[in-house]
A and B are shown apart, each in its own frame.
Chain A
Amino acid sequence: MATKKFMYVNRKAPYGTVYALESLEVVLIAAAFEQDVSLAFIDDGVYQIAKGQNTDGIGMKNFSATYNALGDYEINKLYVEKESLEERGLTEDDLMPIMWEDEDDDWAEKPSIRIVSRAEMANVLADQDVHYSF
């Protein structure tokens, strides 16, 4: 089976709607089929990978740790839009340090998050074969 470039576009904050959790579920399915998977975090989607999420006060499952497991499924291209962070008063330091291990480089830990400008994000999106919107 030919490999396609799959892009999962995440534009909503977690917990208020089910989109963020559903996206994660579908991402993990695609990983099982060994496709070339990328994730984009645009607009309120940047809150999905915010550091320090604590759901004790709302009685919902905190699924943010799952993003740290994506590297084990060879999903290591997490594009985050710089302007979306800035509009929300956030910086890269407010995001979880999501890493992956490069087996071709003695399992060196490398960052999965790639901060890109809105213009760069447009090019990343244009470069994909299939888009899933959440």
Chain B
Amino acid sequence: MAMLHIVNKSPFERNAFKSCLDHAVAGDSILMIEDAAVGAVDGTVFADDLKAAMTDKSVYVLGGDLAARGMSEDRMIDGIKVVDYAGFVDLTADNDKTQSWV
């Protein structure tokens, strides 16, 4: 029963993203949207936490939200997949449940 976790808060400003990582289980997917998109960038104080989660979970970012904040895809942590709004819909359909960490 895989779950899609949707995060929209910056990991540098709120603890919602960290709380999501602490509660997601192996096989789950995590999608970063809105201000959470900046969490996809490598070399940040948050990157190690996300890399640890990626050992047994899939991580996605909404490409439009990353580009809006001036962050190019080539500076993302390796292994994060970029999706558009159609990909967002696919993720909600492919998972049994979704939870938003607002």
Contact = CB atoms under 8 A, between A and B. Distances in A.
Contact of B34 (A11, A15, A64): A15
Given A13-B10, A87-B12, A55 B35 contact: no
Contact of B12 (A43, A51, A57): A43
B69 A53 contact: yes
Interface string A6-20: 000001111111000
A119 interface: no
Given A13-B10, A52-B72, A87-B45, A57 B67 contact: yes
Given A44-B12, A44-B13, A89 B41 contact: yes
Interface residues of A, number: 26
B38 A56 contact: no
Contact of B43 (A12, A15, A54, A89): A89
Contact of B70 (A17, A43, A47, A57): A47
Chain A, interface SS category: loop
Contact of B64 (A17, A57, A87): A57
A15 to B, nearest CB: 5
B58 interface: no
B68 A58 contact: yes
A89 B68 contact: no
B35 A60 contact: no
A114 interface: no
Nearest to B65: A58
Contacts of B67: 52-57
A128 interface: no
A88 interface: yes
Interface string B52-77: 00000000001111011111100100
A63 to B, nearest CB: 11
A57 B84 contact: yes
A62 interface: yes
B44 A62 contact: no
A50 interface: yes
Nearest to A47: B69
A25 interface: no
Interface of A: 11-17, 43-44, 47, 50-58, 60, 62, 64, 87-89, 94
